[in-house]
Amino acid sequence: MPKSSHPTRDRLIETMAELLDGSDPEHITADQVLNASGVSKGSLYHHFEDFEDLLEAALISRFSVNVDSTIDGLSQILATVESREELVVALRQANAHDQAQSRAKFRLERARAAGLTYSSPRFHDALGVEQQRLTDAFTDLFIEAQNKGWMSTDISPRAAAVFVQAYTVGRVVDDIAPDKVDPQDWVDLIMTVIDKAILN
């Protein structure tokens, strides 16, 4: 269950989220957060069970921003496409954006956050809520496509929703490789699978 918002709590989360832009989580200290935020140590531990709780809240906050952005994009697709062909064009544009090298940091951070859920049930549950929102948004897109006759009804919309996220997060194997696949080739492969295996 999400904790209620409070200006001091929000400032600590925002500060930690900003520090994550320049450092790995294990290199950020409580003193750095306190100095950057101007919040006292007592206030930090009033709003969070421990320093890891703050880190987890910041990671979830960063993930939520990206979830909201993706959901807005999917909502725009649902509101504007009027044919299967337009859906394919919109999905190609969305994939070109999501698969871009400029999104590598987000993909890596998302994969790392998912890995952290194994050592923290608290973080697992909180991140799971945000992940569910994202999967539900993709599922809604595919249900709408099925209702309009643009997507095969032999394909589970939820399975398709997980699949499209899996190939995005899975791109980290290329993000960390020195010899990267051509981005256009990657998007072409994705769209071939979507066109031939998912859509009608």
Q: Which of 1-15, 30-44, 110-124, 186-200 has the lowest mean pLDDT?
A: 1-15
What value does the mean pLDDT take over residues 91-108? 91
pLDDT tens by residue, 179-190: 999 999 999 999
3-state secondary structure of 152: coil
Residues 6+ apart with CB under 8 A from 199: 84, 87, 88, 145, 150, 151, 152
The mean pLDDT of the chain is 91
Q: How far apart are CA 150 and CA 200, in angstroms?
A: 5
Query: In the prediction, which pLDDT does 24 show?
Result: 76
pLDDT tens-digit series, residues 146-184:
999 999 999 999 999 999 999 999 999 999 999 999 999
pLDDT digits (tens, 9 = 90+) for 57-84: 999 998 888 888 888 988 899 889 999 9
Q: Indicate if the pLDDT at residue 3 is higher than 70.
A: no
- Please, which pLDDT band fits residue 56 given cuts at 50, 70 and 90? very high
Contact between 175 and 108 (Cβ < 8 Å): yes
Q: Which domains does the chain have, with CATH numbers?
A: 1-48 (1.10.10.60), 61-198 (1.10.357.10)
The model's confidence at residue 1, banded by pLDDT at 50, 70 and 90, is very low
